[in-house]
Structure 1
C-alpha cells in the first residue's frame, strides 16, 4: 500500500484532545469562555503592578513603622507562595486534562466539534491521546475550516504540519488498526 494512500484513510473514533492557540488573538471567545491562560496572564500583570506599589509604600514606611513593614512583607511573601503553588497546580491540571471528543481523523488532519469559534488560519499546538495504548502525539496544526453547526457548537477542521515522522507513522498505524477493528465489528 502506498504511503500517500495510507495518509488519507479516515476514521471516526473517540480520543483525547488538548490544544493551545499559538496566536491567542485568533480564538474568538465570549466573556464567559475567555481563555483561562489569557486571564491568568492578565491577573499576573495586575499582581506585578501591585507588588511594585507595595514595595514603594514599604520603603516610605520603613523608618517610621519597621514592624508594620516586616508584617506586610511576610504577608506578601506568603501570598506569593500561595499564588505560585496555585499556578503550578493549574498548569498541571491543564496538561493532564484533555477533552474526550468524537473525531474524524487521518494522518493529514482531524475534525471535531468545539464549543468555541476559531479563525481559519490559526496555528495550534495539538495534543492527541490515542487509545488504547495511551500514545500521545503532539504536533502543530492549522485551522482550515470552522463551521457553525445548527445544533450548536462549531465544527473545526485542522491540517497537521511539521509532525515528526515517527509520530506520523504511529498515527498511521493507529488509524489502520482502528479501522480494522471497526470493520471486524460491523
Structure 2
C-alpha cells in the first residue's frame, strides 16, 4: 500500500501538532489556527526549500500534495477587493477569468510582493490562508478542498503546515469554488 503524504514527510521531518509549536509559524497564523476545524501539523524545513518546486523535489512528493496561496487584487468603483486563492501546485489560478468574475472587478492582478508581505505579516514563500487580514476573501479550488492531505504555507519560510482540504475549507469565510484553477500544461 502506498505511503500517505504524512508518512512520507515523517520519514524526513519531525511533524508536530501546530497548536504546540507557535514559534514555527507567523504570529498571525498561530493566532488564527484555532479557527481551523481538524488536525493541523507543522514541520521545520530548510528555508532554501520553501518554494513549492524545491520542497516537492526535496521530498519526492507529487504536485497534488501541495497547495499554493496566490493573492489577487482588483477594484470596482474605487473599492479594492483582495482574495487569497488556494490552488494545487499542479494548477494555476484562473486570475483573468474566474477570479476576476468572483471579485466582480474589471481587472485582477497579483498583489505586489512587498504589499503581500507587509499586509499579511508573512514571509514570501510562506504565505498561507490561515491568519490573513479579515478583509481578504479566501477562495479555495474544489480540488484543494477534496484533498486528504495538503502542504501549505505557515507564514514563514522555515516551516510548512500539513492538513486536510476539509480542514482548510473550515476557515471562517472560506469559499470552495469549482474550477478556480486550470491544469498546468
Structure number with greater Rg is 1
TM-score norm. by structure 1 comes to: 0.22
Return the structure number with greater helix share.
Answer: 1
TM-score norm. by structure 2 comes to: 0.22
